[in-house]
Amino acid sequence: MDVEAFRIYCLEKKGVTEELPFGPDALVFKVSGKMFALAALESDPFKVSLKCDPEKALVLRDEYPDHIEGAYHMNKKHWNSLETECLPPQLVKDLTDHSYSLVVSGLPKKLQQELKNL
């Protein structure tokens, strides 16, 4: 999955915004102000960092040791970095959905309801 396909997929989710808070090379996707994905725009191959359940994160790193690792500059217990162009597109989508869901589940109930109503 390339950067534009990833961007479109993220922006199709309810309540998602994009910004460049860390400079022009790091595109951040947020839901209700909370980050769920960070895209490294200048990386080759294209990489994204996604939030992940800690146990699942370890399993994924073992299963795809050359393409999934603990995310650079993030809490490696909760964030994975993926080489998206080297992984099946459906896996990237599933892990993006997982990250989004984890962040949404941590939001206050009021904000969760607002997202459902969008």
Q: In CATH, what class is 3-116?
A: alpha beta
As a whole-number percent, the residues of the chain with pLDDT over 90 amount to 86
What pLDDT does residue 75 have? 87
Report pLDDT digits (tens) over 69-103. Answer: 999 888 889 999 999 999 999 999 999 999 999 99
Report pLDDT digits (tens) over 8-53. Answer: 999 999 999 999 999 999 999 999 999 999 999 989 889 999 999 9
What pLDDT does residue 89 have? 95
| Long-range Cβ contacts of 26-32 (<8 Å, 24+ apart) | 27/3, 31/100, 31/103, 31/104, 31/107, 31/115, 32/104, 32/107, 32/111, 32/114, 32/115
Cα 92–Cα 97–Cα 102 angle in degrees, nearest 5: 125
Q: Which residue in 56, 79, 81 sits closest to 66, CA to CA?
A: 81
Give 22's contacts (C-beta < 8 A, 6+ positions apart).
28, 38
Q: Would you list the domain boundaries of the chain? A: 3-116
Report pLDDT digits (tens) over 46-55. Answer: 999 999 999 9
User: Do residues 81 and 48 make contact, with C-beta atoms less than 8 angstroms apart?
Assistant: yes
What pLDDT does residue 72 have? 85
Q: Indicate the pTM of the whole model.
A: 0.94
